[in-house]
Amino acid sequence: MVRKIAVWGDSILKGIVLDEQKGRYVPLREQSCLALAAQRLGVEFYNHAHFGMTSQKGKLLVERGLQEAKQEQVEAALLGFGGNDIDYNWREVSEKPEEEHLPNTSPEQFRQNVERMVDLTREAGIRPILMSLPPIDAARYFRWLSRGLNAQNILHWLGNVDVIYRSHAGYDAIVRAVAREKDCALFDMRAAFGKAAETLKYLCLDGIHPNAGGHVLMEGVLEAGLAVL
């Protein structure tokens, strides 16, 4: 089993959850999937994940951080991106629903970024691990993203709330395709959340961040995946 793992990703791997009473995002700290895995397995995670991180920004962080990772004798790199890449500027959508709006990162650019991060880590002698995107609940997320905005305008632009889920799943499919084509490990967080009817209890009210229970599921994936590396 690898013992030192660098982590690059977004708020999910940072362990961020929605505090539903305070209505703001907070870190889980000792209850995040990485903290739980570190405690159970005795592995060390060097966590470079950030709230709001896209693959475009993440690629730059990987490029800049690999020298330090090598000095720390990191053996593997866990890469988890996609949720922010597929997101939109919802205020602009709300104000101009008749116009074209593009995601933060196009599918083509997202694929290139993920491929590049896999290549960069391998070239540094570090084993890449891709993480699939945990599922979202489109209805919850729509209610969350449209707070204070014109929900009807956003829905008009979307056409259907389920478009959010399908778009998110499309970026997950890209991650899976890269894992197959690059022959690298895939930690399948999406599968761990089970059927759609069961997913809700593992997600925060925003519909997109796993809650504490979701992080327990993710820790199980980490434990099983790291055991065979």
| pLDDT-derived band at 229, boundaries 50, 70, 90 | confident
Q: Tell me, what amino acid is at 137? A: D
Q: What is the pLDDT of residues 160-214, one digit of tens each?
A: 999 999 999 999 999 999 999 999 999 999 999 987 668 899 999 999 999 999 9
Q: What is the mean pLDDT of the segment spanning 108-116? A: 98
The confidence score (pLDDT) of residue 197 equals 66
Please, are residues 44 and 50 in contact by the beta-carbon 8 Å criterion?
A: no
Q: What is the pLDDT of residues 52-100, one digit of tens each?
A: 999 999 999 999 999 999 999 999 999 999 999 999 999 999 999 999 9
The sign of the dihedral angle between the CA atoms of 194, 167, 200, 22 is positive
In whole angstroms, give the CA distance from residue 178 to residue 56: 16
Does the structure show a pLDDT above 80 at 144? yes
CATH fold, domain 4-89+106-137+168-227, is Rossmann fold (3.40.50)
Taking the CB of residue 109, how many other CB atoms lie within 10 A of it? 16
Torsions phi, psi for 149 (to 5 deg): -115, 180
The confidence score (pLDDT) of residue 9 equals 98
Does the structure show a pLDDT above 70 at 134? yes
Contacts of 168 (CB under 8 A, 6+ apart): 82, 83, 86, 133, 135, 136
Please, are residues 132 and 191 in contact by the beta-carbon 8 Å criterion?
A: yes
Q: What is the mean pLDDT of the segment spanning 122-126? A: 97
As to burial, measured by CB atoms within 10 angstroms (0-12 exposed, 13-18 middle, 19+ buried), residue 195 is exposed
Percent of the chain with pLDDT over 90: 94
The confidence score (pLDDT) of residue 82 equals 98
Domain assignments of the chain as residue spans, ordered by start:
4-89+106-137+168-227
CA nearest neighbour of 203 among 187, 215, 191, 192? 215
Contacts of 160 (CB under 8 A, 6+ apart): none
pTM: 0.96
> Average pLDDT of the chain?
96
